[in-house]
């Protein structure tokens, strides 16, 4: 399951945030001038995904995927639900936690952050 596409583990409820990130180095010179240098040829994308109202069994499927990837160590495929484009990503954290979506139920809310991996 380590390389399994995240979208096939359990359906994604919603994407809270999807953002491009650039890496730029800025150098300040003694005369007050600054220069900028682009470190990456293209942006790296990141996503924050929320699973709201999932059962314990669904959380365990997600946890199995997370564990198979050793947290943020492994990489896997992810289809951006907004664009339909497939990206190679990794988890952005080494911890996966769940919170009750409703008090005194076994319905959970889970948020995960993904980071694109450049070839």
The per-residue pLDDT for range 49-96, each reduced to its tens digit, is 999 999 999 999 999 999 999 999 999 999 999 899 999 999 999 999
pLDDT, mean over the chain: 91
Q: Quick one: pLDDT at residue 115?
A: 96
How do the domains of the chain map onto residue ranges?
6-116
Reported confidence tier of residue 2, pLDDT bands at 50, 70, 90: low
For residues 28 and 107, what is the distance between their CA atoms, to the nearest angstrom? 52
pLDDT in tens, 11-55: 887 888 888 888 999 999 999 999 999 998 889 999 999 999 999
The 10 Å Cβ neighbour count of residue 54 is 22
Long-range contacts of 80-88 (CB under 8 A, 24+ apart): 80/15, 80/18, 80/45, 80/47, 81/7, 81/12, 81/15, 82/15, 82/18, 86/5, 87/45, 87/116, 88/116, 88/117, 88/119
Reported confidence tier of residue 1, pLDDT bands at 50, 70, 90: low
- Specify the CATH number for 6-116; select among 3.30.565, 2.40.30, 3.30.70, 1.10.10: 2.40.30
Q: Quick one: pLDDT at residue 36?
A: 94
Q: Quick one: pLDDT at residue 74?
A: 95
């Amino acid at each position: 399951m380590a390389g399994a596409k995240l979208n096939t583990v359990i359906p994604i409820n919603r994407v809270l945030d999807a953002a491009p990130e650039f890496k730029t180095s800025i150098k300040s010179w003694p005369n007050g001038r600054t220069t900028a240098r682009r470190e990456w040829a293209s942006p790296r994308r990141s996503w924050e995904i929320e699973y709201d109202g999932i059962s314990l069994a669904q959380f365990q499927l997600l946890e199995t995927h997370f564990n198979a990837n050793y947290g943020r160590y492994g990489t896997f495929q992810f289809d951006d639900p907004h664009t339909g484009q497939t990206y190679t990503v990794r988890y952005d954290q080494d911890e996966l936690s769940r919170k009750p979506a409703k008090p005194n139920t076994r319905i959970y809310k889970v948020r995960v952050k993904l980071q694109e991996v450049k070839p």
